[in-house]
Structure 1
């Protein structure tokens, strides 16, 4: 099997129209497709839904489902809100700072930019409570190669001990040490 790319990633939303308007207004995404049916095609379950598809650039699609007959959306109380998020890449640091100003001009609270050593990111929430990240790559090819080589070693150590593995701690040294 050879995966070519992610076709789409789907999330639940509270209100289909509000969600489309947010992503069009704040992130300038094109609204591509809406599908609405009474039954789920894969399971045949009777569950009316609205399924939305938005263009996230370069063939990437972000999708949402509004499912009004299900209990209201909630958050997993055992997972911190910063963990599950959708990250979108922008061209460079100037574009990231411009995006931050645009998002703040929409009245949204933005965290960052945060320097992750190889990327810089800002964070905010959509109207459904999904955390969004805008990021730009700042790392060098050598840094990325070093991290790729360290990844299996770090994973093995983490898997054995479930304690912080510090081989790549240089990524956030500036952020935590000023």
Structure 2
């Protein structure tokens, strides 16, 4: 048995229509499908919802649920806001910078371009408060990733024992830290 790919990733949204319009305008995603029921198919409980689907490219689907009868959306207050996010891949630096300019021109606050060595990215929030990352792979990504992969097992073991950042792949972010 082996997983083939992610079928879709689903998040909650505050307003289905606003979410569709935002993702179409800001990220150029196509709105592909919607389901709406008054009963949850898997549990059969009465609970109206709207389930929307957006094309995130290459067979990847981003979905949202609007749940009008539930309390307002919240987040895990014990998890920093930067941790939970959706990272979407773009072609190259020019595309990333074009998205940054487009988002900022439309009033979206954008953090970055951040250099992660293997990839470079920008960060922002959608209208539901979900953190989104757009990233492109560095032209040297394959070589850097291969080098980092060589130490992944010993890093995981050291982290498991110490709960401190192992240094075997510190070179990935040392440039970023010295550039600031």
TM-score for the superposition, normalised by structure 1 = 0.97
Q: Which ranges in structure 2 are unaligned for 5 or more consecutive residues?
A: none
Q: Which residue is equivalent to 1:108?
A: 108
Whether the aligned pair in 1 keeps the contact of 2:119 and 2:141 (CA below 8 Å) is no
Residue aligning to 1:37: 37
Q: Paired residue for 1:99?
A: 99
Q: Matches of residues 82-161 of structure 1 in structure 2 within 5 Å?
A: 82-138=82-138, 139-161=140-162
Q: Tell me, which stretches of 5 or more residues in structure 1 are unaligned?
A: none
TM (norm. structure 2) is 0.96
CA-to-aligned-CA distance 1:9-66 (integer Å, 9 cap, x gap): 0000000000000000000000000100011111111111000000000000000000
Deviation at 1:164, TM superposition (A): 1.2
Per-residue CA distance 1:51-87 (angstroms, 9 max, x = gap):
0000000000000000111110012110000000011
Q: Whole-Å Cα distance in 2 between the matches of residues 108 and 2 of structure 1?
A: 39
User: How much is the aligned-residue C-alpha RMSD, in angstroms?
Assistant: 0.9
> Are 2:81 and 1:81 equivalent residues in the alignment?
yes
Match of 1:177 in 2: 178
Q: Give the whole-Å Cα distance in 1 for the aligned partners of 2:40 and 2:55.
A: 23
SS of the aligned residue for 1:91 comes to coil
Structure 1 match to 2:167: 166
